[in-house]
Chain A
């Protein structure tokens, strides 16, 4: 097990290197010039060239890449062209927001979707089942931002239960923190809820048709026990899988959700950085994202062994 984990981590190193080179090259050939954005509307072409030189943006590609990569290897992601702050610090500042958002989204989605899926499977073929499943498809048919606006209008303006925007850090207390994240998490969770509900239903149906469940039923084991002890335990593996796969979608959705609810997260940091061509920030964030992605999938693989002892590495 331990050697497996170590091997997996070792295998990610070349992947991360590839990602770094890819992103760096992409930015290098992309048009858009941070110097011109800084200089503003009235700047002359000469002034822009001057700023470019002072930012070191006029050096050759390989020199810049080598310089950057050398620093990354030493744990230094560079400094933002615009704010002059260390990229690592900017990411540190933003990470708690995005991590909180994702955690609550995950917890909430599972709490809502798994019972939905179980219910649909238990009532398979009835109108309850069909209603739940149509809702699940609609969940990912409506764009995230539309869901966000509607939720904010209903539960923050018409019914003033939650704040319209902003993030309250956990250091200000659990309830204020949770309150600031409930609407964004519901918005972001739409896709997840849909995915998990469907996968739960599908696996439950399969498990429920298995012999040992039938036997248990015949023996008069209670309905609740069958559902939650026997069936759901076996459905855990595919649910965990979908969580790992859905992570990439979650990051994409977070970009939009953070904009709609004005949360200072990593998603918005990235979009702002791309629009301003703040190269060090973009590179740093993408590197961090791909690292987290790899990490999440590693955790998912490890969870397999926990839920299903038959899987061995």
Chain B
């Protein structure tokens, strides 16, 4: 099940709709065969570029307050206008890409890593399986957002905490996915043969199991990444997100929401950036799934 996502953004499939054609050159062939990967990858690349080169993209200090210039509409001096404290929204949105992408990637990597470890252990070590899966059930049954708010209250608001808070509810999903794959793999002749020939467990894991779960996992990771970015925004809405001194798309939108009727640009620009990025990551995920494992695309 590649769609086991308790988070907000889960995308099961966006298939190739273009028929394969004879193409000249490997690049062209790749583009034609995997248009979603290319489109998603390009869009995401642009976002990553923006995040890395934020200081050189005509931005100013995103945290500098100047109340006198508050709530200016978009104009030559302030491309996206200014917010309630007179900060430049363009600079905040550009710098905000660092937090949003950072949160998305970190959560995806952490959740897949931890989930994979738990899933593999659970799938191979019978006596631990029961206990681990019950704990995962418990974690899964606590709504992710509520857990995140509680964790946020646990310590001070920080980007680090946002990452931890979003990661925890995602781990069980990955663990279950990986466990499922491991359980099927364990019965495969090549794994049985390895076990029978006395290969040590770590070696089996690294040689046979991990590579074979990568396909499912990388697809899952992209969806986690997308949903993490959306959850970051929702946490900010509730007041439990990235601290207000660090700009993120979520907290720019959350701060501007009371005024969205009068000053829609405060919410509009970060919302557009967020939507494009989530779209890019989802496209990438769909494309990856089709490319890595055609069977997976057909299955649920």
Direct contact of A and B (CB under 8 A): yes
Residue among A149, A206, A252, A277 having the largest count of chain B Cβ atoms under 10 Å: A252
Among the listed A18, A133, A245, A289, which residue makes an inter-chain contact with B146, where contact means beta carbons less than 8 Å apart?
A289
Q: A270 contacts which chain B residues (CB < 8 A)?
A: 146, 149
Q: B17 contacts which chain A residues (CB < 8 A)?
A: 124-125, 129-130
Nearest to A195 among chain B residues (CB) is B10
B217 interface residue (CB < 8 Å to A): no
Specify the main secondary structure of chain A where it touches its partner.
helix
Q: B155 contacts which chain A residues (CB < 8 A)?
A: 31
| C-alpha spacing A191/B239, complex, angstroms | 22
Within 8 A of A (CB), among B2-54: 3-15, 17, 19
B138 to chain A, nearest CB (A): 4
B171 interface residue (CB < 8 Å to A): no
A140 interface residue (CB < 8 Å to B): yes
Among the listed A15, A23, A246, which residue makes an inter-chain contact with B137, where contact means beta carbons less than 8 Å apart?
A15
Task: From known contacts A146-B267, A202-B13, infer whether A286 and B153 are also in contact, taking CB-CB under 8 Å.
Answer: no
Q: A157-198 vs B: 1/0 string, CB under 8 Å?
A: 000000000000000000000000000000000010011001
| C-alpha spacing A205/B300, complex, angstroms | 12
A298 to chain B, nearest CB (A): 12
Among the listed A26, A146, A256, which residue makes an inter-chain contact with B271, where contact means beta carbons less than 8 Å apart?
A146
Residue among A149, A246, A290 having the largest count of chain B Cβ atoms under 10 Å: A290
Are A143 and B233 touching (Cβ within 8 A)? yes
Are A19 and B153 touching (Cβ within 8 A)? no
Q: B101 contacts which chain A residues (CB < 8 A)?
A: none
| C-alpha spacing A31/B151, complex, angstroms | 10
Among the listed A22, A129, A199, A282, which residue makes an inter-chain contact with B138, where contact means beta carbons less than 8 Å apart?
A22
A272 to chain B, nearest CB (A): 11
Q: A30 contacts which chain B residues (CB < 8 A)?
A: 150, 153-154
B258 to chain A, nearest CB (A): 10
Q: B250 contacts which chain A residues (CB < 8 A)?
A: 143
A294 interface residue (CB < 8 Å to B): yes
Are A202 and B300 touching (Cβ within 8 A)? yes
Residue among A143, A241, A242, A275 having the largest count of chain B Cβ atoms under 10 Å: A143
Among the listed A18, A31, A133, A145, which residue makes an inter-chain contact with B237, where contact means beta carbons less than 8 Å apart?
A145
Task: From known contacts A129-B17, A249-B6, infer whether A137 and B143 are also in contact, taking CB-CB under 8 Å.
Answer: no
Among the listed A133, A138, A141, A275, which residue makes an inter-chain contact with B239, where contact means beta carbons less than 8 Å apart?
A275
Q: B196-208 vs A: 1/0 string, CB under 8 Å?
A: 0000000000000
B292 interface residue (CB < 8 Å to A): no
Q: A1-22 vs B: 1/0 string, CB under 8 Å?
A: 0000000000100111011001
Among the listed B12, B137, B154, B234, which residue makes an inter-chain contact with A199, where contact means beta carbons less than 8 Å apart?
B12
A164 to chain B, nearest CB (A): 11
Binds A, one of B63-71, B84-92, B181-189, B272-280: B272-280
Within 8 A of B (CB), among A49-74: none
Are A141 and B154 touching (Cβ within 8 A)? no
Are B234 and A144 touching (Cβ within 8 A)? yes
B219 to chain A, nearest CB (A): 14
A274 interface residue (CB < 8 Å to B): yes
| C-alpha spacing A100/B256, complex, angstroms | 30
B142 interface residue (CB < 8 Å to A): yes
Nearest to A126 among chain B residues (CB) is B17
Q: A146 contacts which chain B residues (CB < 8 A)?
A: 253, 267, 271
Task: From known contacts A15-B137, A143-B233, infer whether A274 and B149 are also in contact, taking CB-CB under 8 Å.
Answer: yes
Are B14 and A256 touching (Cβ within 8 A)? no
Q: 7 closest pairs, A vs B, by CB?
A: A252-B145, A290-B141, A141-B278, A248-B6, A251-B143, A140-B9, A141-B275
- 29 pairs across A/B with beta carbons < 8 Å? A18-B134, A18-B135, A22-B138, A22-B142, A23-B150, A27-B150, A30-B154, A31-B153, A32-B153, A125-B19, A138-B275, A141-B226, A142-B275, A143-B250, A145-B237, A149-B257, A149-B261, A153-B261, A194-B11, A199-B3, A199-B300, A205-B15, A249-B8, A251-B145, A255-B234, A259-B237, A270-B146, A275-B239, A293-B141
